[in-house]
A = this chain, B = another copy of it.
Amino acid sequence: MAVTIKDVAKLANVAPSTVSRVIANNPRISEQTKRRVREAMEELGYHPNYNARSLANRSTQTIGLVMPSSADKALQNPFFPEVLRGISTKAHEKEYTLYLSTGATEEEMLQGVMGMVHGRRVDGIVMLYSRIDDKIMAFLEQQNFPFTVIGKPLVNPDSITHVDNDNFRAAKDVTDHFIGKGHERIAFVGGNLDLVVTVDRLSGYEKALREADIPYRDDYVVHVEFLKEGGHEAVMELFSLEQPPTALVVADDLMALGIMSKLDEMGLSVPQDVSIISFNNVMLAEYASPPLTSVDINIFQLGYQAVNCLLEKIDDNEMASKRVCIPHQVVDRWSVRTLNESEKVN
């Protein structure tokens, strides 16, 4: 059917093994035969069959990607295309290709991952999220299969190679930022508490308050299911309090967008009535009205480094696991206002 290494061998009058060596550019083959073989390949339009190669090699040169469940609204977050860009850049550099694992339920996804691992479809896996008590991660660990995580694994983070931001610090920075601008009634709107990133950011927020001697109020902390409906509820709760907050630390740009839309409906305006800082700094943050002050977590690098670590791991699975921390940076736009003295009274 298709042209194989044998056809090339025949035409070039050499053995198949020689052709294989030419492909690998093995120095033990003379330049002369190399030329002859290459001409034959050219003439026949030969291309190696990757399946055969993987079989013989026991390596696939592909890495598996585990994204959140396709049913999960979180997938709509522009975070993913961007992290994918980082991943694919590094993968391309090293001539690795990408295999996508999907599924609607956690069970379906686990099946998919088990298929990748057992079926030897991939050499390693990068997990694009980090959830508390995740079965997939548990499985990979138990199998001792090379993988890296984007975000911080909750259970034994020290034995799992991962790349993450210092989310604790980032949230603290943001909260400090507000405090520095005179805010004291600062609320925290987090995402799904199953995500480690949420709890990290919440701790950072708490710490900043504590350091500034601002009392932590339970009713200033809400968690929403990431997309619109949730955002609306949260805003309702927050702003029907006797003392509504003047500033919001929001765990995600998209959530901030939803909140702003609700605020708008309620006749509150940003930043006059409420200041907002959110996380991720996806392109949309710039689009919002007003443009959102957001902390840039360098999503591209998260992906790029995750693959980098994974490749090291694939190369030597016994290598010590490590944690790579990607720097963040708050980028100022127009969603934050400085309170003046008279407003500061609580």
Contact = CB atoms under 8 A, between A and B. Distances in A.
Contacts of A260: 289
A214 interface: no
Interface in A36-84: 47-52, 54-55, 58, 60, 62, 65, 70-71, 73, 75-76, 78, 80-82, 84
Contacts of A248: none
A23 interface: no
A70 B84 contact: yes
A264 B289 CA distance: 7
A257 B260 CA distance: 13
A103 interface: yes
Interface residues of A, number: 63
Interface string A1-32: 11000000000000000000000000000000
Contact of A261 (B103, B119, B287): B287
Contact of A289 (B65, B70, B289): B289
A69 to B, nearest CB: 10
Nearest to A264: B289
Contacts of A244: none
A81 B68 CA distance: 11
A278 interface: no
Given A52-B55, A88-B70, A76 B78 contact: yes
A228 B287 contact: yes
A173 B327 CA distance: 48
B75 A92 contact: no
A118 B78 CA distance: 32
Given A49-B120, A264-B290, 7 more contacts: A47-B114, A50-B119, A70-B88, A75-B81, A76-B283, A92-B104, A257-B284
Interface of A: 1-2, 47-52, 54-55, 58, 60, 62, 65, 70-71, 73, 75-76, 78, 80-82, 84-85, 88-89, 91-92, 97-104, 108, 112, 114-115, 118-121, 227-228, 254, 257-258, 260-261, 264-265, 282-284, 286-291
5 contacts: A75-B85, A97-B101, A98-B99, A98-B101, A99-B100
